[in-house]
Amino acid sequence: MTLNRPAMYRFHNGGAKDTLPFADQEYHDRLEGLREIMEMHELDAVVLTSMHNVAYYSGFLYCSFGRPYACVVTKTECVTISAGIDAGQPWRRSIADNITYTDWTRDNMWRAVASVTGEGKNIGCEADHLTVERMEKLNTFLKPKKGMDIAPATMFQRMKKSPAEITMIKHGANVADVGGYAIREAIKVGATELEVSIAGRDAMEREIAKRFPDAEYRDTWVWFQSGINTDGAHNPVTNRKLQHGDILSLNCFPMISGYYTALERTLFVGEVDDASMKVWQTNIDSHEFGMKLLKPGASCAEITMKINEFLAERQMLQYRTFGYGHSFGILSHYYGREAALELREDIDTVLEPGMVISMEPMLTIPEGMPGAGGYREHDIFVVTEDEPEDITHYPYGPAFNVVA
């Protein structure tokens, strides 16, 4: 192989597939749904390049490290395209066939893609993921007769969760609860944000390993913030030491085979002053109000406007900084956003049974004002035919979350 220096080869190392996150039929059903989209738009092949779509349709969650990856789906084939650095793991960890491309010549990845699609075909791709350079490579090597952005259609397919996905997401929510309790136990005056976050992350990693002994383990993390560091929802952990009276933000993010869940709670160290309690309670009230709105038939924009009105009546809307919730599934802080299912003014998507969405209002009071800090509660809901099902069980509010 080394002497011939091939552009690509098949390396099905080990002879047997590993246990995937879902049963084979789950992936076959997803591919059938994608092929229906292809038939509707008269596409011969789809070239998926994002982490979330490659994982969704094949089971393989790649680690790019500067190299391109793909999953090519035709009417009869599903083939992942991976770099030689991964050896046989992409084949073992996917429902699909796999072609390994080599680094000996630039653009061998696109030669591998073209070996599956052929030239001059009708091709779907993810326009929101391909850079201008990679789009040019696709056009050069595949010479498509027709191109189409398949990303919106795949996103809408991913937004409706299967029963197996909902089970996975429920496990994730349970794991997040475990992390929350571990964090609560670690909170004390003088502890650092970093020390507390490590306790939560380690507890979640161990719980995931218990529940999914055949999985790959990566990407689980905690953002634990204190004082002024609570003002943003995605502020990184620091080495700041906790002080009596601090506002805290607990954020647990277990990752199970690419599936993200979250638990987010406001806490205080020791005691809460009156101004902070007033803001905290207002955010809790908006959280509880919003929970009741997550029913089929309601649009994201409609729900958002109702919560806006709720906060405006209490003169607090000006302290809201982002949307009230979003979809869950294959996503992380660096891949996979299902932007059409977010609780924002500009999203008209109507909720349907099988969707999974959070309710997570946040109010941020600027430093120097009474009650300064960021207040956030976050529960995950499965939309059903009737009442939304709350799958987050860690308590919110001052009765449980004034600690140490």
Residue among 404, 403, 355 at smallest CA distance from 381: 355
Enumerate residues 6+ apart whose C-beta is below 8 A from 184: 250, 267, 401, 403
Give the Cα-Cα-Cα angle 150, 138, 4 (nearest 5 degrees): 130
Render each residue's pLDDT in the chain as its tens digit; 404 residues: 456 789 999 999 998 999 999 999 999 999 999 999 999 999 999 999 999 999 999 999 999 999 999 999 999 999 999 999 999 999 999 999 999 999 999 999 999 999 999 999 999 999 999 999 999 999 999 999 999 999 999 999 999 999 999 999 999 999 999 999 999 999 999 999 999 999 999 999 999 999 999 999 999 999 999 999 999 999 999 999 999 999 999 999 999 999 999 999 999 999 999 999 999 999 999 999 999 999 999 999 999 999 999 999 999 999 999 999 999 999 998 899 999 999 999 999 999 999 999 999 999 999 999 999 999 999 999 999 989 999 999 999 999 999 98
Q: At a CB cut-off of 8 Å and minimum separation 6, what does 122 contact?
A: 41, 42, 43, 44, 45, 144, 145, 146, 147, 148
Residue 234 among the catalytic residues:
yes
- The pLDDT, as a whole number, for residue 2 is 54
pLDDT at residue 340, rounded to an integer? 97
Q: Which helix (H) or strand (E) holds 228?
A: none
Instruction: Provide the pLDDT for residue 3.
Output: 63
Instruction: Read off the tokens for 157.
Output: 């397919």
Q: Please pick, among 12, 234, 326, 378, the residue that the annotation labels catalytic.
A: 234
Instruction: Provide the pLDDT for residue 366.
Output: 98
Task: Please identify which residue in the block is written with the tokens 């099902």.
Answer: 389
The alpha-helical segments, DSSP class H, found in 41-118 are 51-58, 89-92, 108-117
pLDDT reported for residue 219: 94
The whole-number pLDDT of residue 31 equals 98
Dihedral angle, C-alpha 336, 341, 345, 348, nearest 10 °: 130
